[in-house]
Structure 1
Amino acid sequence: MGCGGTADKNPAGNNGDSAKPAETKSGDSVSLTLRHINVRDTAKNTLALLEKVVKKTEAEVPGATFKLDGVEDTVNRDVKLKAEMAAGKPPQIFNLFGGADTQNYAKAGHLLPLNDILKELGLEDKFFELREFTVDGKIYGLPEAGFVEGFYYNTKLFADAGITSAPKTWDEFTKALEALKAKNITPIALGGGSGDGWAINMLANSLFVATAGPEAQEGFAKGTTKWTDPAVLDGFKRLKDLKDKGYIDPNVLGLKYSEGQAKFYTGQAAMLFDGSWATSAILDKDKSTVKDNVGYFRFPNIGGKGDNLINGGWSNGYGFSSHLNDAEKKAVKAFIKNFYTLEIQGEALGRDNRVPSMKGVPTPAEAAPLTKAIGEAQASAKAAFPAFDALVQPKVKVTLEQSVQELLGGQLTPEKLVEKMQKVQDEANAGKLEHHHHHH
C-alpha cells in the first residue's frame, strides 16, 4: 500500500562504488560483500543487530570476513542492484524485494535457490509467508520482517463511550461506532486527500476481502473474478456507508495521510486503521498524547469469506548470489543460520516494534503493550492476505485510489465505482497496460 512514511527517500551519502565480487585469496580466507539498507538514523538498531550476526558468523567460519555495504533502499533497488544484476555480478548477500524483482532476477539465473539450505538448517517451516520470494516452487529470498494492518484504538475514548472491549464482529463494531458518534467523538481518523488515496484503500481492501474473500483479489488480474462481483461491491457499499453515517472523519479528503494519523495520536479520534509501521509514531514520547491508552484489534468479522484473516505481508529481506564458490557458500549458510533465529527476530520486535517474519517469536518483556496486542492479533488470525496492489497492474491501483476519493466525496456510487474498476482491469488484462508488482 504505502510505505506510510517509514522511510524518507533521501539517498544516503554512500560513495557509489560498486561492490566487487569477492575472490578467494588463499585456501581459507574469503571476503563477502553484504549489501544492506540500514543507513538512516531510524535504522541504527537494525544495523546493530546485523553487525552482531556478522561478528558471530565471522567467529564461526575461520577466514571469512564480511564487508558491510550500506545503501539507501531505493538507490539499492532501482540503481545499484539493477546494474549489478544486469552485469551478472551481484554482491554475495543483498537486500531484496519479493514480487517482480525476485521473479526477474531468478529468471536471469542470478539468485541462489534456498530450498536445500532451509531444509538442512531446519528452517523450512519457520516463516509465515515466503510466497513473494518463491518462483516455480523455488525459494530465492528470506524476509527480515513484515507488516500487518488493523485498527489502533483509544481505550480512554472507548471507555468514555461505554465500550468495554475491542469489537470482534461487524455488529459490535457498528455499535461502537454509533456509541462514539453519540458522544461527539470522531470514530475513525483518516487522511486520504490529494495523493494519499492509498490510505483509504487500506480500509477498502480489508472491507472487500472481508466480504468477498482473498480469492476475489487473487482473481482480478487472472480474469477469474470481477470487481463487479456482488460480494466485492458489498465491501465498497460498506465503505460509503461508514462515511455517510459520519463514522469516518468528515474531512478525510482535506487531510493528508500523516494528518489523519496525527488526529489519532493527538487524541482527536477514537480509531485509526493503519499498517504496523504506524506504531512508532503512535508511541512517540514527544508527539503522541495517547501512548498510554492505545490498543489494537483485527478487522472485525463480517460473516463473509474473509473472516479471521489479516492484511499483511513479508516482502523485504535478503537474497544471495547464485555465483558463489564453496567457501562463500559455507559463509552464506552460516549467516542464514545466525540471522534467521527467534532470538534475533525477538530483538527486532522489542527494539523497533517490527513484525516478525518467523513463527513463534516470543514477545520480549520490554515490548510495549501495543506491540504485544499487534502480535496477538497477528497470531490469532487464520492467515494473512497481501494488499491488493501486490496483485494488480499499476494502472488498476491508481484508478482505485482516485475512485475511492470520488466515492467518499459523493461523486461516484459504489455501483459505478466497480464498473469503472472492471473496465480498467479488462484493459490491463488484455495487455494494453504493462503488468508489474508494486511493493510495500
Structure 2
Amino acid sequence: MTAHLSRRSLLGLVGAGAGAYLLSGCSGDDESSDPNAPQTINWWHIQNTEPMLPVWAAMAQEYRTAHSNVTIEIQPLENEAFKTKLTTATQAGSPPDLFQSWGGGVLRQQVDAGLVKDLTDDVQPWIGSLLPAALQPYTIDGRIYGIPFDVGMVGFWYNKDLFAKAGVTETPTTWAGVLDTVRKIKAAGIVPIALAGKDKWPAHNYWAYLAMRIGGLSALQQAAETKNFDTPDFVAAGERLKELVDLQPFQRGFLGAEYGSPDGQAATMGNGGAAMELMGQWAPSVQASSSTSKKGIGDKLGFFPFPVVDGGKGAGSEAFGGGNGFAIGKDAPASTVDFLASLLTVDNQRKAAQTGAVLPTVREAASGISDPNNKIVAENLASATGFQLYLDQAYPPAVGQQVNDSVAELIAGTKSPAQIVKDITTVAKSQ
C-alpha cells in the first residue's frame, strides 16, 4: 500500500508521528506457534518519515507477499511519542511484537521484567554476519535480546561555506578550539550552532561527550555502578558546557525548538541557518528532508569528531553514540523472528544504507554506504578505541530522563553544573 509521508526528519528523532499502516495477507487474529497459522505482527518503529518510512513499508510488503498468512501492522512513531507509548505498553505488560530498541539500561529493565524474548538461540544461523560491536548494547549477561540494524556515532556536522566566511580554516581539535571557533563564527554575524532545546536529548550529547573527554569512559561506567554523578569530573563537564552556553551560540528561539520541525535544529542546518550541530549519523538525511529544498546543503556539509578537553583523561578516539535495533515482545507470534531476520539480509541492509539514513550492521552490506559523510562516520567508528552508548539509553530510564532534564536546565540557566549532578545522583540512588 502507499500512504502520504510526512517529510519532517529521519530516525523518528523528530516531528509528528505518522499513522498506522496495515499490510495483510489475511485477516485472522488467531496467533499460534504454528508458523503457517494466521498471524499478526504489531511493529512499532521510529523511522516515521522519508527516507526510511517507505523502505520499511516496502520490506514488510515483500515479506507479506511471500507469507500470505502473515499480517503486519506498522505503527511509525516520533521518538518521544514512541517512548511514551512504549512505556505505557510495557507497564501494562503488553509490549508490541516487534519494536524499536537502543539496548542498554532500558532493554535490561525489559529483560528483567520478562517482557522481551531471548533471541540467542533463534538468531544463531545468521548473527555472525553482524558487527560484534553493534551487538554489545543488545547483549545482556551473555544473551541476545535485540538485533541492531544501524550503528553510528555522534559528532559535529558543519557548513564548510559558513566556516570559510567566518575565516575558520581548520576544524577544532580541542574544546578550547570549539569555543574559539564559535567566537569567530558569531563575530562574522553567523549563528554558530543549531540546537533543539525543547527536545532535550540533543543537548545531552554535549554534556555526555564532555564527561567522556574529561573523566574517560571509566567515569561513566563507575557512575553506573556507584549511582553517583556528584564528582569533580561530572561537575567539570557542566562547567565546560556552561562556557559554551555563555557565548550564546544557538539560534534564536532554540529553547522552544524541536529537532525535526520545519523551524527546528535539522532544518536550521539544512537551510544554511547555522554553522554546526552536534548530532548522530542520521544528520545529513534529516537536514535534507527537513530543509526547504529537500536537499540540504549537499557537499557543503562536513564532519569532525568531538574534540579532546585539555587535561582530560578521555581519548579523542573514544566514540559516543549508538544504533537502532529491534526487540521482540514476549507474546510475539512465531513468524516475528523470521520477519526480523528478513530485515537484516545483506540486500535489505544495502537498501537501507543506500538511503543515507542507516550505517548497516551486516558486514557485507557496507558496500551500500554511498554518502561520503556516512563513509567518514564509518571510518571514525571503525578506528574508535572505545564506545559509550547514549546516556539516556545506557542508564535506567529514570536516570536517562533526569540527565536530559538536568542538561536542559543547565542550558536554560536555571541550574548550575554542581546542582545538576546532585539531581541526577538523587534519581540514580532511588533506582
Q: Which runs of 5+ in 1 are unaligned?
A: 59-63, 436-440
Does the Cα contact within 8 Å between 1:253 and 1:409 map onto a contact in 2? no
* Pair 261,116 (structure 1): closer, same or farther in 2 beyond 3 Å: closer
1:156 aligns with 2:161: yes
Q: Which runs of 5+ in 2 are unaligned?
A: 1-9
Q: Which amino acid aligns with 1:77?
A: L
Determine the structure 1 residue equivalent to 2:308.
301
Does the Cα contact within 8 Å between 2:158 and 2:276 map onto a contact in 1? yes
For residue 366 of structure 2, give the secondary structure of its aligned residue in structure 1.
coil
Tell me, in whole angstroms, the C-alpha distance in 1 between the residues paired with 2:183 and 2:138: 43
- 2:328 pairs with one of 319, 324, 330: 319
Tell me, in whole angstroms, the C-alpha distance in 2 between the residues paired with 1:372 and 1:100: 29
Tell me, in whole angstroms, the C-alpha distance in 2 between the residues paired with 1:305 and 1:422: 19
Tell me, in whole angstroms, the C-alpha distance in 2 between the residues paired with 1:354 and 1:235: 30
Determine the structure 1 residue equivalent to 2:206.
203
* Pair 103,230 (structure 1): closer, same or farther in 2 beyond 3 Å: closer
Does the Cα contact within 8 Å between 1:37 and 1:76 map onto a contact in 2? no
After TM superposition, the structure 1 = structure 2 runs for residues 76-225 of structure 1, keeping only pairs within 5 Å, are: 77-78=86-87, 94-97=98-101, 98-99=103-104, 102-103=107-108, 106-107=111-112, 111-121=116-126, 123=128, 126-146=131-151, 148-170=153-175, 172-192=177-197, 195-223=198-226
1:44 aligns with 2:54: yes
Q: Once the two structures are superposed, what CA deviation does each residue of 1:381-407 show, in whole Å capped at 9, x if it has no partner?
A: 334311222244555555554544554
Moved more, 346-355 or 384-393: 384-393
- State the structure with more CA Rg: 1
**Residue 111 of structure 1: how far off its partner (Å):** 4.4
Q: Which amino acid aligns with 1:8?
A: A
1:371 aligns with 2:380: no
**Residue 153 of structure 1: how far off its partner (Å):** 0.5
Q: Once the two structures are superposed, what CA deviation does each residue of 1:306-351 show, in whole Å capped at 9, x if it has no partner?
A: 5212221235314275888xxx5xx667555543234322210212
Tell me, in whole angstroms, the C-alpha distance in 2 between the residues paired with 1:132 and 1:115: 14
Q: CA RMSD in A?
A: 3.9
* Pair 215,342 (structure 1): closer, same or farther in 2 beyond 3 Å: farther
- 2:30 pairs with one of 20, 23, 39: 20
Sequence identity of aligned pairs in percent?
23
Determine the structure 1 residue equivalent to 2:288.
283
Determine the structure 1 residue equivalent to 2:351.
347
TM-score, structure 2 as length reference: 0.76
Tell me, in whole angstroms, the C-alpha distance in 2 between the residues paired with 1:344 and 1:399: 37
Tell me, in whole angstroms, the C-alpha distance in 1 between the residues paired with 2:375 and 2:76: 30
Determine the structure 1 residue equivalent to 2:70.
66
- 2:246 pairs with one of 225, 237, 244: 244
Equivalent residues, number = 402
Determine the structure 1 residue equivalent to 2:387.
384
Does the Cα contact within 8 Å between 2:406 and 2:424 map onto a contact in 1? no
* Pair 65,250 (structure 1): closer, same or farther in 2 beyond 3 Å: closer
Q: Once the two structures are superposed, what CA deviation does each residue of 1:243-301 show, in whole Å capped at 9, x if it has no partner?
A: 3345x227465541343443322223211112334332312362565234111222123
Does the Cα contact within 8 Å between 1:221 and 1:425 map onto a contact in 2? no
Does the Cα contact within 8 Å between 2:104 and 2:394 map onto a contact in 1? no
**Residue 137 of structure 1: how far off its partner (Å):** 1.9
Tell me, in whole angstroms, the C-alpha distance in 1 between the residues paired with 2:332 and 2:247: 59
TM-score, structure 1 as length reference: 0.74
Q: Which amino acid aligns with 1:372?
A: K
Determine the structure 2 residue equivalent to 1:61.
none
Tell me, in whole angstroms, the C-alpha distance in 2 between the residues paired with 1:276 and 1:214: 21
Q: Which amino acid aligns with 1:134?
A: T
1:268 aligns with 2:277: no
Does the Cα contact within 8 Å between 1:112 and 1:140 map onto a contact in 2? yes
- 2:230 pairs with one of 228, 231, 254: 228
Q: Once the two structures are superposed, what CA deviation does each residue of 1:38-86 show, in whole Å capped at 9, x if it has no partner?
A: 6956311122134445656x5xxxxx84332323454973566776x55
Tell me, in whole angstroms, the C-alpha distance in 1 between the residues paired with 2:126 and 2:299: 41
Does the Cα contact within 8 Å between 2:152 and 2:381 map onto a contact in 1? no
**Residue 242 of structure 1: how far off its partner (Å):** 1.7
Tell me, in whole angstroms, the C-alpha distance in 1 between the residues paired with 2:404 and 2:89: 31
Tell me, in whole angstroms, the C-alpha distance in 1 between the residues paired with 2:413 and 2:33: 63
Q: Which amino acid aligns with 2:239?
A: K
* Pair 381,423 (structure 1): closer, same or farther in 2 beyond 3 Å: same
Determine the structure 2 residue equivalent to 1:438.
none
